[in-house]
């Protein structure tokens, strides 16, 4: 995953069952947020409070059901910016066991609007 995700134009993150970030292909905007600053932190640390439950539920649903998921939510950046992202989720299995969820986040051009969770 690390090799394939590193070159993606989107933000690629993998999380464990507690939503802790295990891998990210990039840091935040600017040099103050290197990729290493995300590892081990919860993905919900990076979304505003009103979207945290949405993110938790979408990730948990993939862990419970397998398959894929989708949600839109804003990010919460240190400078106060809140760009919107479309988040595509998928199950990662090792030896048949679901061990991680991949989250591929694409910035929304119409960032003022974001929807509730939708899983597929």
- Quick one: pLDDT band at residue 29, thresholds 50, 70, 90? low
Q: Regarding predicted confidence, which is higher, 27 or 70?
A: 70
Q: Regarding predicted confidence, which is higher, 114 or 24?
A: 24
Average pLDDT over residues 5-20: 84
Average pLDDT over residues 10-25: 94
Grouping H, G, I as helix, E, B as strand and the rest as coil, residue 10 is: coil
Model pLDDT for residues 55-114, shown as the tens digit of each residue: 999 999 999 999 999 999 998 877 887 888 999 999 999 999 999 999 999 988 765 554
User: pTM for the whole thing?
Assistant: 0.82
2-107 classified as CATH 3.40.50.150:
no
The residues, any chain, with a CB within 8 Å of residue 74's CB and separated by 6 or more, are 47, 48, 51, 82, 83, 84, 85, 111, 114
């Amino acid at each position: 995953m690390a090799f394939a995700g590193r070159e993606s134009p989107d933000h690629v993150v993998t999380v464990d069952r507690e939503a802790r970030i295990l891998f990210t292909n990039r840091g935040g905007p600017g040099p103050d947020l290197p990729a290493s600053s995300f590892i081990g932190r919860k993905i919900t640390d990076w979304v505003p409070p009103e979207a945290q439950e949405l993110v938790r539920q979408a990730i948990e649903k993939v862990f419970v059901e397998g398959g894929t998921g989708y949600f839109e939510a804003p990010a919460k950046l240190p400078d106060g910016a809140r760009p919107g992202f479309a988040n595509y989720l998928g199950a990662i299995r090792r030896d048949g066991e679901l061990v991680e969820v991949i989250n591929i986040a694409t910035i929304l051009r119409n960032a003022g609007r974001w929807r509730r969770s939708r899983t597929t």
